[in-house]
Amino acid sequence: MTEAEDRRIRLIGLDLDGTTLTSDKKLTDHTREVLEACLAGGIQVLPTTGRTQAAIPDFLKGIKGLRYMILSNGAKICDLATGEEIYSDCIPWERALTLADELEQYQTYYDFYALGRGWSERRFFDHLDRFNIEAHIETLVRTSRTPIDDMRQWIRENQASIEKFSMFFASPEHRFSAWEKLKEIPDVLVTSSVPNNLEINYHTCNKGNALLGLGKILGIPREEIMACGDGTNDLAMIKAAGLGVAMENADPVVKEAADYITLSNDEEGVAAAICKFCHLDISIPG
């Protein structure tokens, strides 16, 4: 048995899209069984996602024993049992106004997350077909964003801290150019979860910090924390966790940083990794 296999795992952070969910956004019965077995055995398993709380599907919220969710790339941690927000690392609303002005210079769709859901100006929301967004992601955008007329007016009126800005690009060249410029801004962190998007969080906000923060709240040290992911917005938690697991379909930089590479998201790689390192004997039906 290797050192990684011999360690005790008590907390597991799981990215959703491209990791826990299949490419058609499903949770397989086998993966659900594995997650519920962990939770029943006292291992905290939780979504660690770029999504807002409103964008978490009911079939995930319904996992038996699920209590915590890390949302918007680590901007929030919610306790489902109490309904409380137990951790926050968001962009101050005043800074969000100036960032919105910065994003306006790029040829892109952009929206923002606040108060637990996404908000999109109608000039973008009504023309999603212009931004080369995959059909299943467009469906997610349409069902998880609320259309508004004016982003800046909404931010001024609500004075709510911003969890994340999300951007989609029709052109790979425009995306690359924007990433090169945005990553020079010192107080933001730029990552990506799908090939044609960028995601902007506060510079101290990432899934790794949030996962370790939850570990402190629960009294679980880094060495007993496992994380699974595929995108660059998962890189911080892959590095932060005592055991970082990359999917076979992961970005090369995520694979390079990981301690272990499991099967792809369409081959139930999350379930395979958990069974391996948490010593669960749950075979795939058939």
- Phi and psi at 166, nearest 5°, equal -125, 140
**Residues contacting 130, CB < 8 A, separation 6+:** 109, 170
**Within this chain, do residues 80 and 99 fall inside the same structural domain, yes or no?**
no
Identify whether 284 is part of a domain. no
CA distance 180 to 202: 17
- The residue from 147, 179, 202 where one domain ends is 202
Identify whether 285 is part of a domain. no
Question: What's the half-sphere exposure (Cβ side, CA atoms, 13 Å) at 77?
Answer: 21
**Within this chain, do residues 72 and 212 fall inside the same structural domain, yes or no?**
yes
Beta carbons of 96 and 159 less than 8 angstroms apart: no
- The residue from 177, 202, 227 where one domain ends is 202
Query: Helices (DSSP H) in the chain: which residue ranges?
Result: 3-6, 29-40, 58-61, 93-103, 122-125, 135-144, 151-158, 172-182, 207-218, 235-240, 252-257, 269-278
- The residue from 202, 231, 251 where one domain ends is 202
**Within this chain, do residues 167 and 71 fall inside the same structural domain, yes or no?**
no
Domain with residue 270: its CATH number is 3.40.50.1000
Largest Cα span, the chain: 58
What sign does the CA torsion over 164, 170, 175, 181 have?
negative
| Number of structural domains in the chain | 2
Q: What is the pLDDT along the chain (286 residues), one digit of tens a residue?
A: 566 666 799 999 999 999 999 999 999 999 999 999 999 999 999 999 999 998 999 999 999 999 999 999 999 999 999 999 999 999 999 999 999 999 999 999 999 999 999 999 999 999 999 998 988 889 989 999 999 999 999 999 999 999 999 999 999 999 999 999 999 999 999 999 888 999 999 999 999 999 999 999 999 999 999 999 999 999 999 999 999 999 999 999 999 999 999 999 999 999 999 999 998 877 655 4
Tokens at 82, concatenated: 């109490």
Tokens at 2, concatenated: 């290797």
CA distance 225 to 237: 10
